[in-house]
Amino acid sequence: MSRTKIVAGNWKMNKTLNEATALVNEVLKNTNEFDEVQKIFFTPFPFLNDISKQISGKKNFSVGAQNCSEQVSGAFTGEVSAVMLKSTGCNYVLVGHSERREYFKETKEQLTSKIKLALDNDLKPVFCFGEKLAERKNKLHFEIVAQQLKEVLSSFSAVQLKNIILAYEPVWAIGTGETASPAQAQEMHRFVRDTIAELFGTETALNISILYGGSCNAQNAQELFACPDVDGGLIGGASLKADDFCKIIYSF
């Protein structure tokens, strides 16, 4: 078993290009030597090419996009395709973040198409899922997560799963300051791995990286990353400050 450890920053709609390159400079300077962890910057579209150049040649640093179109190309004003992303030097793309599901009403068909196009263009999708507060309160969290996984991932093969990363992000923990406890995270990550085993076999399940996201920060990252089925973090707010992001990287 050789699961990649990943600490990824999801900057969302924050920073200017100058602020972004300054942040990346700081992170490079402070964590360049620590190459057990794959670091990914999920930047806004306009910064992808610059940040890709900035990290070029640096081992274990990558750039990702926060979204891509479910269409191949054509008359879709304002959209950005997977092939365009690849041409900027980026290697990863977030698919199905809860903010995209909620505000842009992304459907399972769109998410499936985005993952397919990402894989076709040699981009690794980071597929995000997670229950809402009311669903957890009603003890529906396992059911919801199983459904979110199955309705999209069942269109793919075990071979394709080798290039997909999962991110469990309980919606009640995103941007709220309320983190899942290590026990809650481990319980769900174990469940996700079991669900992947059921769909694709044990080997695939043991090798897929499952990240935790939702108010993960410099104070709680260590205990979350210590959970056996937590392979890293997808970090929102705390990835915007170099100091905090570097501390999270060193939490492994």
Q: Do 248 and 7 touch, CB atoms closer than 8 A?
A: yes
Whose CB is nearest to ligand PGA?
236
Closer CB to ligand PGA, residue 85 or residue 174?
174
Q: What one-letter code names the amino acid at 83?
A: V
DSSP label at 47?
G
Output the smallest distance, CB 238 to ligand PGA, in A: 6
Q: Do 93 and 117 touch, CB atoms closer than 8 A?
A: no
Closer CB to ligand PGA, residue 42 or residue 200?
42
Binding residues vs ligand PGA (CB under 6 A) = 10, 169, 174-175, 213-216, 234-238
| Token pair recorded at residue 155 | 């269109």
Q: Do 67 and 101 touch, CB atoms closer than 8 A?
A: no
Closer CB to ligand PGA, residue 117 or residue 211?
211
Output the smallest distance, CB 10 to ligand PGA, in A: 4
Closer CB to ligand PGA, residue 218 or residue 234?
234
Output the smallest distance, CB 118 to ligand PGA, in A: 17
Q: Among residues 70, 97, 135, 189, which one is catalytic? A: 97
- Angstrom distances, CA of residue 240 to CA of 26, 81, 237: 11, 26, 6
Q: Is 169 a catalytic residue?
A: yes
Output the smallest distance, CB 127 to ligand PGA, in A: 13
CA dihedral over 181, 203, 65, 74, signed as positive or negative: negative
For every residue of 222-238, DSSP letters joined together read: HHHHTSTT--EEEESGG
Q: Among residues 70, 135, 169, 189, which one is catalytic? A: 169
Catalytic residues: 97, 169
